[in-house]
């Protein structure tokens, strides 16, 4: 079997780890480190009761990765604590997105996950107030030139990242789940009435269906090269978790996707999760009728090809092409061509 | 089998093979691939007593020293340090492959081995009891550590105090990098000591590596019980003076100087706290190595 996909295989069916050679363990750990998924892998192995099957060298690395993931999660929780303090001076609601929300909800996927920064959502009308509050309490805008400032403020769904000089976690304040320039507009106003309160926290979290849809949007629209597998795993874990607990979850999910105009991306995501991670998506919930089957297969193939993280020592032209296609696609979806082409040209020029 | 029992061509061949060479370094197994002829002689002389890991081990770190494939290689050959296929630092001049390897391996351990509380300190042991010497700027810790090892102490490490969950220390007795004047000081102190080649103009000036004593390497699987924490300070021509330290100060200095105190969170605090409680705490000022040896020969303990 293809070594490049060993990480995907181990995450899908952890029991294969019983039969790995030491070289395969090394390939697996190298890939999981690169994808920042070693601690996630560690938790999956534990959940499947496979600790005894792990050779000592690998066990040390998995243990160390868990210590580090706990540290990152503590940093995010602490940043939330600091933001929460500031919010005493505000009378509007704030939603914690992604990693922050998973931690607040204590979802199993939060364990071992390495959140890069803290993402929060406010209503557009409160955006300026939120930014002013944070700036007044010591957060600073990370140094960006005028072009970047304009890029964020005119086109994106978030303001330029803020960071407190004493801490390392960036705070991204969003007002929507998708860039303003995107051709699909998930309706931010729909998110607020169904957002849920969290006991003991000033933050709210998205309703379960919206949590999934946000993760879906992230997978297809955010041009992050290395985290695609993590995004897919997030969706997989959210689906598994909520399908077990929430009555009528699948029906509500597809209805919600339709309300947001996100049926197509959801269909792609469900198909990918089912095919690549064995996510138990019921056949009648897969929205198969909404997209031609060849297109579904093609997209799954592309995602599959682009999942292994790129390495410097071995150039894999197929992977690179798939990553490039998805990168271009994500940008194409984010912006109309008349904005996109000048933007990519500017970025290319800056890089040289 | 030990490194020195392999011929240089054999080592070169092993290093160049796709599986590389698996070196056992204290608690870690390191898989090394290297395409440069500069590295094998260094490995063979300074890691002479280290064993190769069994081929069945899963390596903790997977390292490759690679020549970049740019046009520049014809003018000014360079070397890259890769961990898991990821380039970690800017390229070094090819001749500096050995210090790049040492520095890169330090980086790997310091940023990843979070199963340990990783102190930035030299650690040595005698009579079953270990002394920890935190590396504060101007401490002259490497010189003192080298002299103590040559004076009969067992080297645990010149760089890392690896504190296990139960509080014992794991050895990782790698070559000691001596810098600038220290090289001459140690050559004069112990003319019989084996030093590697001098690498001029590194980030830290001239560096030469001191080979760990065979006894230290032979016992690198043996943990040691921490007994003293000594904060050394070198002061030219000063008489040797050992003075007791208050625990609060020692804890603060030890913790803030560690590589991953924050990463371990509450567990880091617990491990550092237990360490402080079970050790005698001293600051130590010295101007001559011979005086220092006398003091360390009779370190007051419980």
For chain A, domains (ranges, CATH) are: 3-351 (3.30.460.40)
Q: Do B26 and B106 belong together in one domain?
A: yes
Q: Which of A22, A65, A311 sits opposite B58 (nearest CB)?
A: A22
Mean pLDDT, range A89-105, rounded to an integer: 95
B264 and A CB contact within 8 Å: yes
Q: Do B137 and B81 belong together in one domain?
A: no
Q: Do B214 and B142 belong together in one domain?
A: yes
Q: Model confidence over B52-89: pLDDT tens digits?
A: 988 889 999 999 999 887 766 667 889 999 998 888 88
Asked whether residue B10 is assigned to any structural domain, the reply reads yes
Given an 8 Å threshold on Cβ–Cβ distance, is B58 in contact with A68? no
Instruction: Report which DSSP code applies to B224.
Output: B
Q: Do B85 and B163 belong together in one domain?
A: no
Task: From chain B, pick out residues whose CB is under 8 angstroms from the CB of A34.
Answer: 84-86
Distance, in Å, from the CA atom of B296 to the CA atom of A252, rounded to the nearest integer, reads 73
Distance, in Å, from the CA atom of A18 to the CA atom of A53, rounded to the nearest integer, reads 5
Q: Do B251 and B210 belong together in one domain?
A: yes
Q: Can you say how many angstroms the Cα of residue A235 is from the centroid of all Cα atoms in its chain?
A: 8
Q: With pLDDT > 70 as the criterion, what percentage of chain A qualifies?
A: 88
Model pLDDT, residue A147: 77
Q: Do B199 and B242 belong together in one domain?
A: yes
- Mean of all residue pLDDT scores within chain B: 93
Interface of A with B (CB under 8 A): 22-23, 25-26, 29-30, 33-34, 55-58, 60-61, 63-65, 67-68, 70-71, 74, 311-314
Question: Which tops the pLDDT comparison, A302 or A97?
Answer: A97
Mean pLDDT, range A208-237, rounded to an integer: 85
Asked whether residue B207 is assigned to any structural domain, the reply reads yes
Mean pLDDT, range A237-257, rounded to an integer: 93
Closest chain A C-alpha to B221 CA, distance in angstroms: 15
Name the one residue in this structure whose structure tokens are 């050992």: B242
Q: Quick one: pLDDT band at residue A180, thresholds 50, 70, 90?
A: low
Task: Decide if pLDDT at A334 tops 70.
Answer: no
Are the C-beta atoms of B59 and B22 separated by less than 8 Å?
A: yes
Task: From chain B, pick out residues whose CB is under 8 angstroms from the CB of A311.
Answer: 84-86
Are the C-beta atoms of A62 and A41 separated by less than 8 Å?
A: yes
Closest chain B C-alpha to A58 CA, distance in angstroms: 6
- Mean of all residue pLDDT scores within chain A: 86
Model pLDDT, residue A286: 83
Q: Do B102 and B128 belong together in one domain?
A: no
Q: Which of A55, A71, A312 sits opposite B85 (nearest CB)?
A: A312
Q: Which residues neighbour A329 within 8 Å (Cβ) at sequence distance 6 or greater?
A: A220
Distance, in Å, from the CA atom of B194 to the CA atom of B178, rounded to the nearest integer, reads 12
Distance, in Å, from the CA atom of A294 to the CA atom of A305, rounded to the nearest integer, reads 16
Residue of chain A minimizing CA distance to B108: A61
By mean pLDDT, which of A134-143, A318-327, B286-295 is the weakest?
A318-327
Q: Do B237 and B270 belong together in one domain?
A: yes
Q: Can you say how many angstroms the Cα of residue A193 is from the centroid of all Cα atoms in its chain?
A: 23
Asked whether residue B154 is assigned to any structural domain, the reply reads yes
Asked whether residue B203 is assigned to any structural domain, the reply reads yes
Model pLDDT, residue A352: 60
Q: Which of B82, B87, B115 sits opposite A64 (nearest CB)?
A: B115
Distance, in Å, from the CA atom of A113 to the CA atom of A103, rounded to the nearest integer, reads 10
Q: Do B97 and B205 belong together in one domain?
A: no
Looking at this predicted complex, what is its ipTM? 0.92
Asked whether residue B208 is assigned to any structural domain, the reply reads yes
Task: Decide if pLDDT at A59 tops 70.
Answer: yes
Q: Which of A179-183, B47-51, B135-139 ranks highest by mean pLDDT?
A: B47-51
By mean pLDDT, which of A104-108, A310-314, B150-154, B275-279 is the weakest?
A310-314
Asked whether residue B129 is assigned to any structural domain, the reply reads yes
Q: Quick one: pLDDT band at residue A339, thresholds 50, 70, 90?
A: low
Asked whether residue B302 is assigned to any structural domain, the reply reads no
Model pLDDT, residue A156: 72
Q: Which of B58, B78, B112 is the last residue of a domain?
A: B112
Distance, in Å, from the CA atom of A150 to the CA atom of B259, rounded to the nearest integer, reads 39
Number of domains in chain B: 2
Q: Model confidence over A73-93: pLDDT tens digits?
A: 999 999 999 999 999 999 999
Mean pLDDT, range B126-131, rounded to an integer: 94
Q: Model confidence over B8-36: pLDDT tens digits?
A: 999 999 999 988 999 999 999 999 999 88
By mean pLDDT, which of A152-156, A204-208, B112-116 is the weakest?
A152-156
Q: Do B188 and B287 belong together in one domain?
A: yes
Distance, in Å, from the CA atom of A101 to the CA atom of A39, rounded to the nearest integer, reads 19
Task: Decide if pLDDT at B151 tops 80.
Answer: yes
Q: Quick one: pLDDT band at residue A194, thresholds 50, 70, 90?
A: very high
Are the C-beta atoms of A139 and A86 separated by less than 8 Å?
A: no
Interface test with A, best of B28, B84, B263 (most A CBs within 10 A): B84
Q: Which of B63, B82, B112 is the last residue of a domain?
A: B112
Model pLDDT, residue A164: 93
Given an 8 Å threshold on Cβ–Cβ distance, is B115 in contact with A313? no
Question: Which tops the pLDDT comparison, A333 or B242?
Answer: B242
Are the C-beta atoms of B204 and B198 separated by less than 8 Å?
A: no
Q: Do B94 and B239 belong together in one domain?
A: no
Q: Can you say how many angstroms the Cα of residue B193 is from the centroid of all Cα atoms in its chain?
A: 17
Task: From chain B, pick out residues whose CB is under 8 angstroms from the CB of A314.
Answer: 85
Mean pLDDT, range A49-68, rounded to an integer: 95
The phi, psi pair for B162, rounded to 5°, reads -90, 100
Q: Do B262 and B232 belong together in one domain?
A: yes
Task: From chain A, pick out residues whose CB is under 8 angstroms from the CB of B267.
Answer: 67
Task: Decide if pLDDT at A1 tops 50.
Answer: no
Q: Which of A30, A64, A74 sits opposite B265 (nearest CB)?
A: A74
By mean pLDDT, which of A4-18, A313-327, B100-114, B243-257 is the weakest?
A313-327
Given an 8 Å threshold on Cβ–Cβ distance, is B60 in contact with A61? yes
Model pLDDT, residue B83: 92
Model pLDDT, residue A188: 81
Q: Which of B112, B129, B157 is the last residue of a domain?
A: B112
By mean pLDDT, which of A289-298, A330-339, B177-186 is the weakest?
A330-339
What residue numbers bound the domain in which B25 lies? Answer: 3-112
């Amino acid at each position: 079997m293809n070594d490049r996909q060993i990480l995907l295989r181990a995450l899908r069916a952890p029991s294969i780890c019983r039969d790995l050679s030491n070289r395969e363990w090394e390939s697996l750990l190298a890939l999981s480190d690169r994808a920042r998924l070693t601690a996630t892998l560690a938790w999956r192995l534990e959940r499947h009761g496979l600790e005894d099957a792990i050779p000592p060298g690998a066990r040390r690395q998995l243990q160390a990765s868990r210590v580090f993931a706990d540290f990152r999660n503590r940093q995010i929780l602490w940043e939330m604590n600091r933001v929460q303090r500031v919010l005493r001076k505000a009378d509007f609601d704030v939603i914690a997105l992604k990693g922050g929300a998973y931690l607040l909800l204590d979802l199993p996927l939060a364990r071992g996950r390495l959140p890069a920064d803290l993402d929060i959502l406010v209503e557009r009308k409160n955006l300026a107030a939120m930014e002013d509050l944070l700036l007044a309490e010591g957060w600073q805008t990370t140094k960006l030139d005028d072009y970047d400032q304009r890029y964020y403020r005119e086109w994106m769904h978030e303001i330029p990242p803020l960071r407190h000089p004493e801490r390392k976690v960036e705070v991204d304040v969003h007002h929507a789940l998708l860039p303003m320039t995107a051709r699909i507009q998930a309706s931010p106003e729909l998110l607020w009435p169904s957002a849920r309160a969290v006991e003991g926290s000033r933050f709210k979290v998205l309703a379960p269906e919206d949590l999934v849809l946000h993760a879906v949007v992230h997978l297809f629209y955010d041009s992050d090269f290395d985290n695609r597998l993590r995004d897919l795993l997030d969706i997989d874990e959210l689906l598994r978790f909520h399908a077990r607990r929430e009555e009528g979850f699948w029906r509500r999910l597809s209805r919600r996707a339709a309300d947001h105009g996100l049926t197509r991306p959801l269909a792609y995501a469900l198909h990918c999760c089912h095919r690549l991670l064995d996510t138990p998506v019921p056949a009648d919930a897969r929205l198969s009728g909404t997209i031609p089957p060849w297109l579904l297969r093609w997209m799954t193939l592309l995602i599959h090809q682009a999942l292994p993280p790129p390495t410097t020592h071995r150039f894999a032209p197929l992977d690179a092409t798939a990553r490039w296609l998805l990168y271009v696609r994500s940008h194409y979806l984010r912006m109309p061509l008349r904005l996109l082409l000048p933007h990519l040209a500017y970025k290319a020029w800056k890089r040289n | 089998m030990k490194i020195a029992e392999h011929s240089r061509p054999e080592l070169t061949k092993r290093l160049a093979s796709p599986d590389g060479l698996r070196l056992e370094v204290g608690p870690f197994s390191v898989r090394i691939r290297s395409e440069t002829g500069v590295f094998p002689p260094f490995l063979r002389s300074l890691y002479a007593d280290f064993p190769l890991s069994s081929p069945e081990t899963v390596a903790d770190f997977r390292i490759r020293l690679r020549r970049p494939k740019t046009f520049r290689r014809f003018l000014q050959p360079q070397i890259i340090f890769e961990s898991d296929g990821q380039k970690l630092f800017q390229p070094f001049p090819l001749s500096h492959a050995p210090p790049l390897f040492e520095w890169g391996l330090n980086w790997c351990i310091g940023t990843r081995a979070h199963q340990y509380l990783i102190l930035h300190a030299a650690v040595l042991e005698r009579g079953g009891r270990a002394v920890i010497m935190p590396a504060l700027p101007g401490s002259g810790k490497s010189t003192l550590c080298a002299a103590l090892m040559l004076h009969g102490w067992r080297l645990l490490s010149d760089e890392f105090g690896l504190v296990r969950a139960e509080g014992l220390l794991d050895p990782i007795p790698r070559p000691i990098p001596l810098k600038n004047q220290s090289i001459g000081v140690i050559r004069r102190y112990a003319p019989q000591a084996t030093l590697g080649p001098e690498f001029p103009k590194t980030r830290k000036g001239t560096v030469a590596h001191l080979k760990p004593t065979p006894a230290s390497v032979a016992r690198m699987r043996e943990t040691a019980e921490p007994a003293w924490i000594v904060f050394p300070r070198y002061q030219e021509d000063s008489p040797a003076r050992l003075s007791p330290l208050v625990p609060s100060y020692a804890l603060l200095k030890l913790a803030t100087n560690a590589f991953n105190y924050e990463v371990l969170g509450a567990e880091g605090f617990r491990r550092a706290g237990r360490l402080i409680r079970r050790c005698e705490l001293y600051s130590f000022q010295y101007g001559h190595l011979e005086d220092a040896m006398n003091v360390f020969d009779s370190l007051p303990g419980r």
